[in-house]
């Protein structure tokens, strides 16, 4: 299953997430590619494309993302629950906010998206 995590103007957090995933023992083997667009002076990082191949990948991404998000929230000044700009997941024509989802909810969402991909491939 392929999906995209959007920067939503928070390129620094997206770079940080990419580094976090690469350093996480479970998520390091996931396929993560950068998506850039045109900026005023050079390419601007807009998103990360993530490919998950199986249930273990779903679990590894989920745990790494939720841990990263928790650390980022603790580091950010401002009201409790302040989100990074990296909280929207795009899959096909659907965009879902994942910044508020717990690990179980995010894993369930990713499994359902993967099941939808798998069902579509069988047709």
Q: What is the Cβ-side half-sphere exposure of residue 84, based on CA atoms within 13 angstroms?
A: 26
Q: Looking at residue 1, what is its pLDDT?
A: 93
Domain edges within the chain: 2-118
Q: What is the pLDDT of residues 16-28, one digit of tens each?
A: 999 999 999 999 9
Q: Looking at residue 5, what is its pLDDT?
A: 95
How much is the pTM?
Answer: 0.85
Residue 100: which of 115, 114, 89 has the closest Cα?
Answer: 89
% of residues, the chain, pLDDT over 90: 63
Q: What is the pLDDT of residues 62-114, one digit of tens each?
A: 999 999 999 988 776 655 555 677 899 999 999 999 989 999 999 999 999 98
Task: Name the DSSP class of 1.
Answer: -
Task: Name the DSSP class of 107.
Answer: H
Is 99 in contact with 69 (CB distance < 8 Å)?
yes
């Amino acid at each position: 299953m392929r999906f995209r995590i959007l920067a939503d103007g928070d390129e620094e957090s997206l770079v940080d997430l990419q580094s976090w995933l690469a350093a996480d023992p479970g998520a390091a083997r996931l396929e993560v590619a950068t998506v850039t667009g045109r900026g005023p002076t050079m390419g601007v990082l807009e998103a990360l494309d993530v490919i998950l191949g199986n249930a273990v990948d779903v679990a590894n991404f989920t745990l790494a993302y939720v841990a990263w998000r928790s650390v980022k929230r603790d580091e950010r000044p401002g009201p409790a629950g302040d989100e990074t700009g990296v909280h929207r997941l795009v899959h096909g024509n659907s965009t879902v906010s994942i910044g508020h989802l717990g690990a179980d909810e995010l894993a369930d969402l990713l499994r359902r998206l993967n099941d939808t991909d798998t069902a579509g491939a069988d047709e």
